[in-house]
Chain A
Amino acid sequence: MARRAADDMFVGFFVNPAQIRYLAIKKERIINMQTSTCQKSGGCKIPDRATLPKELYQKLAAFVDTLPQKEGHLVTVLHKAQSLFGYLPREVLEFVAQQMGDPLAKVYGVVSFYTFFTQIPKGKYPISICMGTACFVVGAEKVVDSFQKQLGGIEVSEVTPDGKFSIDCLRCVGACALAPVVMIGEKVYAKVTPDMVKGIIADFS
């Protein structure tokens, strides 16, 4: 019964003329949403190979050696790698794969699954805007817009060209009494309004 309902549902979706009109109107947006996972304003390209300090690789290898066993510790090693390098570019993933004896595809699969792991470097001052429900209902969305505007229109999860700021939306920092909350590095800003954004950025300039 439920399955029939589901089938009818999808048929209904694809022949509905209103839906087709909507698709036409929102074509660009839908294409962006459906065909590519890349939503960066610069488009998709393979980034240049990063050269990262050798001693960090050595530290990571030393950490892997301290593990009681390699099995089951991929996430642990990736946490360590991100804390050392700040982000997880392809080179680091290759190194982790080799150290752990896992295929690169598996490592990539894990990294891309978890939102905590980032494959692009964060800004010097990472801006994290809480988008938990409590922050949302008191206007966190407008705060995000305001940060984007002040930082030259970069998208969420992107870095400014000078590498100074990056914007991220967090799910909940558990400080709902202070909503909307913005964190820049370790510093917490409470009850942020769009008007305050300019001043907050100025604190780091």
Chain B
Amino acid sequence: MSEKKQIRIATRNSGFIDPENIDSYIAAGGYLALAKCIEEMTPTQVIDEMKASGLRGRGGAGFPTGVKWGFAAGYKSDTKYVVCNADEGDPGAFMDRAILEGDPHSVLEAMAIGAYAIGGNKGTIYIRAEYPLAIKRLKIAIEQAEEKGVLGKGIFGSDFNFDLDIKYGAGAFVCGEETALINSMEGMRGEPYTKPPFPAESGYWSKPTIVNNVETLAAIPAIIVKGANWFNKIGSETTKGTKVFALAGKINNVGLIEVPMGITLREVIMDVGGGVAKGKEFKAVQTGGPSGGALTYKDLDVKIDYESLAACQSIMGSGGMIVMDEDDCMVAVSKFFLDFTMDETCGKCTPCRIGSKRIYETLDKITMGQGTMDDIENLKLLAVAIKDTALCGLGQTMPNPVLSTMRVFEDEYKAHVIDKKCPAGVCSSLLEFVVVDEKCVGCTLCAKICPVDCISGKVKEVHVIDQAACIKCGACLDKCKFDAIIKR
């Protein structure tokens, strides 16, 4: 993968050090930042340094980390918590897992720095139970850090104590939302609650709590060591530093990349990603997962940061980037995401619980060829209403896939409704499979594979598909060696 445009900060050690050996991390400059904080800086200085760096939460919302810490530091309490949000539920994004598996100590160190800054002494890592290797390495890392005395009581000979434990998620996407995450850590259903009070005031066990994402934390030791001025020179006007993206889908170079904020989408996809796979036409890229939106060929020159992505009806999200080509139907993709949110909505607030279902049903109707123009108008109205009224981030961003694809691909929606055609050839109810007479050699392979026996024809004669009986499974198309079956 092209290294030229990449700058590795959060992933600086991943792949270079032995994640199961603390000495390897220390040799790479590990725990230097924590030592610097405790020995040379006051908690206020640490927070000021974070504010000056311009680091913003990498979990998706982009809230300035230093400001969050400043809030928590401002509240008086005997116990304050630092929580690491490692409940990476966004399908198609796996940077948190890569960091936890490749460099767990950087997260522990940053949590200790956070605790020092806000005056806390307890930390919890909330991690997906589906990441066994990351859990194993975190446990090893915590054990070794306690042995070395960089976690636990009297760190670096000071009176600063910091204890860490791990709590497991149980597969709920909404738990990435910080209030839902806190409920889940307390052993309850992971339903969000209304803010304020913000967790910084009253969070885990009603104590001041800061919740930071893995990638945000991983960048912190580097910022402390190299200084805020180094960090805020990288990036765009509004968004400093780098972002890890998970490039996937129909792209040549699949995998994690870390690029400076402000890079254009074109550079990410065409240069770093090596362009669309199989030489096909670039159609769209989905950023921010199910809560995000599709950026299209029109947006290729958009500079990537929180504000410019929001202007395109999308979000930065946790950094998934799924590239789609001409063969992907945007209505079907929207439906896929709504199917996901419909499944993952916690059901607490009505706009999200019922709204997701109604949007899904409307999209389903359109892909079945039963949509009307009213449906398209209703979709837009409903999407806006949900955005305005839902309780938490999950609901407020849930209509994004629909809104953003409609922005550019309204024609595609209309084609489904008016012409009853799927231009990309994905929505099977709107397709017809037919045999091209000139190409068919009568090998009978298609007739044999057909699950409903709707293809007839003798050996070495042109075959015919009975459209009334065809279930449009596409098995014949995949099987035919002579490209004699087409869908249209």
Q: Which chain A residues have a beta carbon within 8 Å of chain B's beta carbons?
A: 2-3, 5-6, 8-9, 12-13, 16, 18, 21-22, 25-26, 71-76, 78-79, 109-110, 113-117, 131-134, 136-138, 142, 145, 149, 170-177, 179, 194-195
Q: How far is the CB of B131 from chain A (nearest CB, A)?
A: 8
Q: Report A-chain residues with C-beta under 8 Å of the C-beta of B320.
A: 133
> Whose C-beta in chain A lies nearest to the C-beta of B358?
A13
Identify 21 residue pairs between A and B in the complex whose beta-carbon atoms are under 8 Å apart, listed by A's number: A3-B385, A5-B381, A6-B351, A6-B382, A6-B389, A9-B382, A12-B374, A16-B372, A25-B370, A72-B185, A76-B167, A110-B187, A113-B346, A133-B320, A134-B92, A134-B249, A170-B130, A174-B97, A176-B92, A177-B254, A195-B478
Q: A114-B170, A115-B171, A137-B250 are in contact. Are A131 and B91 (CB under 8 A)?
A: yes
- Contact yes or no, A73 B89, CB < 8 A: no
> Whose C-beta in chain A lies nearest to the C-beta of B473?
A145
> Whose C-beta in chain B lies nearest to the C-beta of A176?
B248
Q: How far is the CB of A98 from chain B (nearest CB, A)?
A: 16
Q: Report B-chain residues with C-beta under 8 Å of the C-beta of A133.
A: 91-92, 248-249, 286, 289-290, 320, 322, 336-337
Instruction: Let me know if B172 is at the binding interface, CB within 8 A.
Output: yes
- Contact yes or no, A75 B378, CB < 8 A: no
Q: How far is the CB of B290 from chain A (nearest CB, A)?
A: 8
Q: How far is the CB of B193 from chain A (nearest CB, A)?
A: 15
Q: How far is the CB of B479 from chain A (nearest CB, A)?
A: 9
The residue in B250, B385, B389 that gathers the most chain A C-beta atoms within 10 A of its C-beta is B385
- Contact yes or no, A16 B187, CB < 8 A: no
Neighbour of A172 across the interface among B91, B172, B186, B388, CB < 8 A: B91
Instruction: Let me know if B418 is at the binding interface, CB within 8 A.
Output: no
Neighbour of B188 across the interface among A74, A142, A172, CB < 8 A: A74
- Contact yes or no, B172 A114, CB < 8 A: yes
A87, B104: Cα distance in complex, Å: 31
Count B-side interface residues using an 8 Å CB cutoff. 65
Binding site secondary structure of chain A: helix
- Contact yes or no, A79 B168, CB < 8 A: yes
- Contact yes or no, A115 B170, CB < 8 A: yes
Q: A2-B388, A2-B389 are in contact. Are A132 and B187 (CB under 8 A)?
A: no
Tell me the B307-327 residues at the A interface (CB within 8 Å): 320, 322, 324
Q: How many A-B residue pairs have CB under 8 A?
A: 144
> Whose C-beta in chain B lies nearest to the C-beta of A177?
B254
> Whose C-beta in chain B lies nearest to the C-beta of A68?
B165
Q: How far is the CB of B427 from chain A (nearest CB, A)?
A: 12
A18, B254: Cα distance in complex, Å: 43
- Contact yes or no, A138 B249, CB < 8 A: yes
Q: How far is the CB of A130 from chain B (nearest CB, A)?
A: 8
Q: Report A-chain residues with C-beta under 8 Å of the C-beta of B365.
A: 22
A79, B336: Cα distance in complex, Å: 29
Q: Report B-chain residues with C-beta under 8 Å of the C-beta of A79.
A: 129, 168, 170
Q: Report A-chain residues with C-beta under 8 Å of the C-beta of B473.
A: 145
Q: A16-B374, A116-B171 are in contact. Are A5 and B385 (CB under 8 A)?
A: yes
Q: A5-B384, A137-B324 are in contact. Are A75 and B91 (CB under 8 A)?
A: no
The residue in B187, B328, B478 that gathers the most chain A C-beta atoms within 10 A of its C-beta is B187
A22, B369: Cα distance in complex, Å: 10
Instruction: Let me know if B19 is at the binding interface, CB within 8 A.
Output: no
Tell me the B202-251 residues at the A interface (CB within 8 Å): 205, 246, 248-250
- Contact yes or no, A2 B385, CB < 8 A: yes
10 closest A-B pairs (Cβ-Cβ)? A174-B94, A132-B91, A114-B170, A74-B187, A134-B248, A2-B388, A176-B248, A116-B171, A116-B170, A6-B385
